[in-house]
Structure 1
């Protein structure tokens, strides 16, 4: 605690009541009523309430705070304050319940006498009156009772307390913090709470040396904060910000920054102002809630500075996740306000040489915060890198580093060249950045700030970010989308099950079963994914075309419209592809670069089309490289048209209006090539790509996430995710990730098994792997990338039987074959493609 309160003398109580007097703001609609009322008072003072010469009587002055007009009254020392209030009511008509008499900063209680209140001749009292037109009289009474009760507690007058503080506050909150309350009503209730200095009273109670008072105040403030958060919807919750701000400001002057109550109030204030506009645009903003919030830039910025210092210190000592969240919450409206400045114009210069029209000091301080945090984070990430290299990780708050980096990057974007400075620092510690992403990046967080510089990442970290964008697979049988498919009608029946399902049902998970087969479970699902993707991208089905230079790569077929359902099938293909990624299943398919770039929303260049159409690429390059003089002689005889083959006949398409009459020359040939590429690889398949993207978006949530998935990946990354490893299956890696049940590693059958696998061709190993696991393609990492190890089980079957498999559990079973040749003969049978890919697994 910054200061201890040894005792509570009169000055403290005067401060509380003076605060109430200063902050009281009568209803502006009642101004004319107030003037009329005061005129009545002045007229009355010359009549029935003339000063008496009785020596036992005292006279005093009652001054109206709102405009300074004065009433002269008199009474006996034994008269109760209630008698004086009755006299005022008889003259003015103001009900006693609406009158507040203040003397020496204290409110006079009605049951006290003038002598007890120490009212002497010529004493000056202040009358705070709420006019009859003021709304919410019950709320006024509740808050006044609350403050008066706290005042008595501080004076130790507990015997006079009729209602405990907690009970009064509960009634007030029941009226205020409720979901159905209107904006104007809530704002009025909160204004009354502040006008009568309830926050000041509660904080003074919290600072009391009396333990019971302190506990009561803490409980009450926590109750207020909690009721607002749980009872009010988000837009209304922000209206509580001025009250939370007052709690914070009062507490910050008297307690340490790590005081639990102060931390709660600060955190709550952060959540209240996070989405509130506090800049120049807020003045004319059409959001009524923002105007009612009444929080300014200068109110918020001190908390940004305070929390930035705590983060910088915490990186060396102890870092609290709540402080990182609060820093981000306060920073958000600050950044928006700076961007609203007319001086902003795309960024503030660094170093700051000019003077801004607004927030000049704060913007300079924020730049210092940027460099402070950036330097701290660079040192911390260098330490992470060192510990990774030494393979000695100390306990630390590394899980908060990404959140701090995100906010630091957000500050850097406000300044010209700030991002370059940020990323140059990150480049030095990119290994640590990758480690943090793979280890600590969580689902639901925003990582777009790092995706823009994905070149600093590696495949593993980029893949992890993509997997966070995809829905989580679920194993709850009640939520699974069930499919029963006939192998002979694989594509059409799969299309019906997937295309007609609601996206949310598909995200819940899939249950797959082939007709007339007993096998079910994850293994069958993996097999279905592989088989259906092979069918979708089979060029014979006219949806996709294989690239001439790489038959494993595919791009949409412009002529797919021969099938009336082709666009629905492209949407189906997008759903299946997203589901395969979501279930982490490698299906042996790769996209052509032009297709991938369109899904990422990136323009296609000449070099991007090399694999999709080598002849077209060569022709375009020749046009660009040809001697300008020859081109201008119309040696090519080209105009701005594109000839395409459609359903067996040639069709001429103009690249723009009247393009057939515009000759290609050395000046416009670049535009001609760009238009050709656009038409050939974008325009001609735009509907197909759009439908594929829509199907993909159905699974990931929306089209923004769909595009972000492909933007996050490098072109080769997608190969690794969807196709899998390109390497020949390693027997040593396979063996290292296999365990045994019933056999031991030294048994002759196990020795024979691995010897036979080592003799197999690459294709035979794929078939054996598929028989064993329903996977023909391993993850990029090899067997270590699988969900579990593989298992060899010893079965009690006859040695005349072939091996069997439980693909769901990555398990192969075979009996104790008597010789190497017998085992080789059995394994050769199941590694025939037509057997291993259709064998009855269970």
Structure 2
């Protein structure tokens, strides 16, 4: 407390305002904003819970420049000429009360009691503390005494003390306030000497930030509310603002110090900032981003680092827990600027000549977009798309971001369309071969389309707009998909069958399988006796842990030296031949196409039949994963049920032509004739199974229900249901489970079969069953030691051309372990075929290295000798030994 006889109140207030303009904390925050509770029952002796408010003279007066408070010895007789003099009743004393955010002026009479002064301070400032006391010269002033009775000297200084009402985080408040004070002192240091002193006194900024993070780390096992409470202290106390203020300093050392402190929030640390706690620091990261963007700009490296860290934290946030702490609308408003900013960055890259976009920018866009979509979907409630009338300008928008975000979506889609058009131009240039580096650089176009596809679910009509672009740019789109690297995010393209071609769909489906790394520790090794092929393969594959099959298979036959991919391809063909053999009871072949199979309803004759169906599902999935065509295709009744779809009469045409024709006749029969019961049909089925005559009612009381023109379709549907669904449901279920075991995500089995047409699956699994084109075969063959004009080579192709189709296929199998070519012929093998000159005598048979598609051909002296040797190796029992005899 001091009396100001010469300085006007307006001058003091003007100076105070000038001083507060430099203060970093908001001037209108209430005490409650600082985490103080209204519970006055807590009584703690913790000194950190005490607040000292100083009643001090004008800080801008000459006497205050040397020291914060005037010495008590020098404060004599400025108001009262002597200690015995009595003050005039009209005298007025002026008090300056400094709170956390502003300084206030208090007026009092010398005859006012100390308690009344304290009450006046409490009323004006709103500070509600316990045991408030006025301290003068180290002693407490009695509350019932007047100011005059306390013998206050002229220009004296009083301190108002009191304990704050209880706060939950006293240590956090103390650490953060020390941090703010240290940074502020460093910022406000003036001359060089003052600056050196401030740097020495405030060199603990890093340590204070670390101490705050350690406090925060201890909340890892506590609730979100506790962690958010500590974070709120950091934010409310203005710590982010003072650190950014320090970063804005023209002094390089200040910038370095601030950047080092902020960087502590950007990287997880097991001791300072565990990952689980760093995720909850998203509000602090958001504050850093806002402050940096508004000061140093969005090109600053620290801003980019904070933005990247914030995107990473958003990816790991649980939005259901976030929504409990803040409104969804506020989350949308916070995230929208980042999506807008990153979309602008992407469009800038797409507009360049190279159409290149950095992976980092693309990943950040995806993370911010995903977070914003999650918030919007929560805001939408029932997950319905936003109606067009809300964003097309015909009606006032409910939220500003709705129209703006749709504009961003439309602009980005338009830019992608232009990029696809440019890719299409490159494809149309004759003789133009684009490097793999360029194709890899264009892969981000698919990633951006993926994000746009996700956003298309938010707006009404956006999906149709996206599909129209995909359809118009079908050619370049498929070119990109065929070259795309493994990514789970691209699976949405499988839903657009009218846009994708077979090669594109095949690549997308294969992305759902494990990548099958060739690491030695992940190889699943098999050593199999040819004479026990099916039984031992069942043990190695059917009984193995599913995860053990997600790597590569290493295959070797007993007593044979051959190993490698060629032997593995042979094993796939041989084991599938055994599984689907007519001599086995697991599957039946279609009458009109012996390669096409479906489960045998009578497979239960083998007690292990269901386990073998699971084994079969694994083998087929592994064959697809290793891209081996095994020459087997599924019938429609089998394929559709794997896709979870129902059957119609047309679907059983290949599986049972007789039943199909009978049902067709019933449907086409004259209604009057059918109603006369000329066929004598009722709703039951008679059939033979394993030598036993069986009768099954197709519905309750079916024997008594006659088939007529009104119920004939129901009868046929029930008949198909029993013959091809109910009777093989267990077999299909176990096959599907085995197939799912091999997938990277076991829940995607149905989706794979739904995404493909039966013809697609035939191509992927069965390969081509057409006659081999010898001219194409010859064109894809190169020579080592021989020349194309050598007589042995001319004899060889002449002999091959004269072989029957089946013998040609066996020769190809001996040479490459490929019995069924891919649908695009030899070009689909991925490698040329080779004929090597063998040094062995002409008495020896040709040999092969199937891993390298290499045929070792001795130098035979005559075409007849060569023909006899080739005839020998093209016998079925010889070709499977890869030239070993």
Give the RMSD, CA atoms, in angstroms. 4.0
Which residue, 814, 817, 834 being the options, matches 1:774? 817
Quote the Cα distance in structure 2 between the aligned partners of 1:435 and 1:351: 37
Match of 2:309 in 1: 268
Match of 1:102 in 2: none
Which deviations, in whole Å up to 9, do the C-alpha atoms of 1:762-792 show, x marking residues without a partner?
2122111111122211222222322433222
Quote the Cα distance in structure 1 between the aligned partners of 2:781 and 2:133: 93
Match of 1:385 in 2: 424
Q: Relative to structure 1, is the Cα distance of residues 43 and 475 closer, same or farther in structure 2, using a 3 angstrom cutoff?
A: closer
Match of 1:332 in 2: 370
Match of 1:453 in 2: 496
Q: Relative to structure 1, is the Cα distance of residues 145 and 652 closer, same or farther in structure 2, using a 3 angstrom cutoff?
A: same
Q: Relative to structure 1, is the Cα distance of residues 712 and 215 closer, same or farther in structure 2, using a 3 angstrom cutoff?
A: farther
1:571·1:696 contact (CA, 8 Å) conserved in 2? yes
* 1:309 aligns to 2:347 (yes or no): no
Match of 1:410 in 2: 454
* 1:248 aligns to 2:286 (yes or no): no
1:639·1:659 contact (CA, 8 Å) conserved in 2? yes
Match of 2:209 in 1: 169
Which deviations, in whole Å up to 9, do the C-alpha atoms of 1:397-453 show, x marking residues without a partner?
52211111111122222233332222122111011111111123x324322321111
* 1:376 aligns to 2:415 (yes or no): yes
Tell me the CA shift for residue 266 of structure 1: 2.5
Q: Secondary structure at the match of 1:381?
A: helix
Match of 2:331 in 1: 296
Quote the Cα distance in structure 1 between the aligned partners of 2:676 and 2:105: 102
Tell me the CA shift for residue 571 of structure 1: 0.3
* 1:494 aligns to 2:527 (yes or no): no
Quote the Cα distance in structure 2 between the aligned partners of 1:408 and 1:230: 40
| Stretch of structure 1 that moved more, 487-496 or 409-418 | 409-418
Which residue, 156, 159, 163 being the options, matches 2:197? 159
Q: Relative to structure 1, is the Cα distance of residues 816 and 574 closer, same or farther in structure 2, using a 3 angstrom cutoff?
A: same
1:59·1:122 contact (CA, 8 Å) conserved in 2? no
| Stretch of structure 1 that moved more, 224-233 or 61-70 | 61-70
Match of 2:268 in 1: 227
Q: Secondary structure at the match of 1:511?
A: strand
Quote the Cα distance in structure 2 between the aligned partners of 1:67 and 1:643: 96
Match of 1:559 in 2: 602
| Stretch of structure 1 that moved more, 543-552 or 327-336 | 327-336
Quote the Cα distance in structure 2 between the aligned partners of 1:167 and 1:365: 44
Q: Relative to structure 1, is the Cα distance of residues 817 and 195 closer, same or farther in structure 2, using a 3 angstrom cutoff?
A: same
2:618·2:739 contact (CA, 8 Å) conserved in 1? yes
Which residue, 182, 185, 206 being the options, matches 1:149? 182
* 1:55 aligns to 2:60 (yes or no): no
1:30·1:131 contact (CA, 8 Å) conserved in 2? no
Tell me the CA shift for residue 20 of structure 1: 9.5
Which deviations, in whole Å up to 9, do the C-alpha atoms of 1:231-253 show, x marking residues without a partner?
76776544222112111221222
2:522·2:551 contact (CA, 8 Å) conserved in 1? yes
Q: Relative to structure 1, is the Cα distance of residues 373 and 41 closer, same or farther in structure 2, using a 3 angstrom cutoff?
A: closer
Tell me the CA shift for residue 818 of structure 1: 2.1
Which deviations, in whole Å up to 9, do the C-alpha atoms of 1:59-97 show, x marking residues without a partner?
6433656999999999xxxxxxxxxxxxx9996599xxx
Map of 1:54-453 to 2, 5 A cutoff?
54-55=77-78, 60-62=95-97, 92=132, 131=164, 133-156=166-189, 157-161=195-199, 162=201, 163-177=203-217, 180-183=220-223, 184-227=225-268, 236-274=277-315, 276=317, 287-288=320-321, 290-292=323-325, 296-317=331-352, 318-341=356-379, 346-352=384-390, 360-390=399-429, 391=432, 393=434, 397-440=441-484, 442-453=485-496
Tell me the CA shift for residue 259 of structure 1: 3.0
* 1:726 aligns to 2:749 (yes or no): no
Tell me the CA shift for residue 621 of structure 1: 2.8
Match of 1:14 in 2: 22
1:25·1:195 contact (CA, 8 Å) conserved in 2? yes
Q: Secondary structure at the match of 2:595?
A: strand
Which residue, 572, 576, 580 being the options, matches 2:623? 580
Quote the Cα distance in structure 2 between the aligned partners of 1:812 and 1:378: 48
* 1:697 aligns to 2:705 (yes or no): no
Tell me the CA shift for residue 123 of structure 1: 12
Tell me the CA shift for residue 151 of structure 1: 1.8
Q: Relative to structure 1, is the Cα distance of residues 770 and 160 closer, same or farther in structure 2, using a 3 angstrom cutoff?
A: same
| Stretch of structure 1 that moved more, 204-213 or 570-579 | 204-213
Quote the Cα distance in structure 2 between the aligned partners of 1:616 and 1:768: 40
Which residue, 632, 637, 646 being the options, matches 1:594? 637
Q: Relative to structure 1, is the Cα distance of residues 36 and 61 closer, same or farther in structure 2, using a 3 angstrom cutoff?
A: farther
Q: Relative to structure 1, is the Cα distance of residues 346 and 188 closer, same or farther in structure 2, using a 3 angstrom cutoff?
A: closer
* 1:783 aligns to 2:826 (yes or no): yes
Match of 1:744 in 2: 787
Quote the Cα distance in structure 2 between the aligned partners of 1:130 and 1:266: 41
Quote the Cα distance in structure 2 between the aligned partners of 1:228 and 1:178: 13
Q: Relative to structure 1, is the Cα distance of residues 131 and 707 closer, same or farther in structure 2, using a 3 angstrom cutoff?
A: farther
2:486·2:511 contact (CA, 8 Å) conserved in 1? yes
Structure-1-length-normalised TM-score: 0.83
| Stretch of structure 1 that moved more, 351-360 or 725-734 | 351-360
Which deviations, in whole Å up to 9, do the C-alpha atoms of 1:2-30 show, x marking residues without a partner?
xxxxxxx9779735133695697243544
Match of 1:764 in 2: 807
| Stretch of structure 1 that moved more, 351-360 or 136-145 | 351-360
Quote the Cα distance in structure 1 between the aligned partners of 2:219 and 2:847: 62
Structure-2-length-normalised TM-score: 0.80
Q: Secondary structure at the match of 1:409?
A: helix
Which deviations, in whole Å up to 9, do the C-alpha atoms of 1:202-235 show, x marking residues without a partner?
2222222333323333333232121379976776
Q: Secondary structure at the match of 1:691?
A: helix
Match of 1:533 in 2: 576
1:277·1:333 contact (CA, 8 Å) conserved in 2? no
Which deviations, in whole Å up to 9, do the C-alpha atoms of 1:547-573 show, x marking residues without a partner?
112111000111111111100000000
Tell me the CA shift for residue 122 of structure 1: 12
Which deviations, in whole Å up to 9, do the C-alpha atoms of 1:298-328 show, x marking residues without a partner?
2222222332333233310352323322222
| Stretch of structure 1 that moved more, 390-399 or 551-560 | 390-399
1:599·1:693 contact (CA, 8 Å) conserved in 2? yes
Alignment gaps of 5+ in structure 1: 1-8, 46-50, 75-87, 95-119, 279-286
Quote the Cα distance in structure 2 between the aligned partners of 1:133 and 1:16: 25
Q: Relative to structure 1, is the Cα distance of residues 230 and 573 closer, same or farther in structure 2, using a 3 angstrom cutoff?
A: farther
2:491·2:508 contact (CA, 8 Å) conserved in 1? no
1:512·1:524 contact (CA, 8 Å) conserved in 2? yes
| Stretch of structure 1 that moved more, 329-338 or 508-517 | 329-338
2:217·2:274 contact (CA, 8 Å) conserved in 1? no
2:129·2:163 contact (CA, 8 Å) conserved in 1? no
Tell me the CA shift for residue 153 of structure 1: 2.9
Tell me the CA shift for residue 276 of structure 1: 5.0
| Stretch of structure 1 that moved more, 745-754 or 696-705 | 745-754
Quote the Cα distance in structure 2 between the aligned partners of 1:774 and 1:529: 10
2:95·2:105 contact (CA, 8 Å) conserved in 1? no
2:268·2:274 contact (CA, 8 Å) conserved in 1? no
Quote the Cα distance in structure 1 between the aligned partners of 2:780 and 2:219: 57
Q: Secondary structure at the match of 1:270?
A: helix
Which residue, 40, 45, 49 being the options, matches 1:32? 40
1:20·1:195 contact (CA, 8 Å) conserved in 2? no
Match of 1:626 in 2: 669
Tell me the CA shift for residue 604 of structure 1: 2.3
Quote the Cα distance in structure 2 between the aligned partners of 1:68 and 1:689: 81
Quote the Cα distance in structure 2 between the aligned partners of 1:126 and 1:313: 60
2:596·2:632 contact (CA, 8 Å) conserved in 1? yes
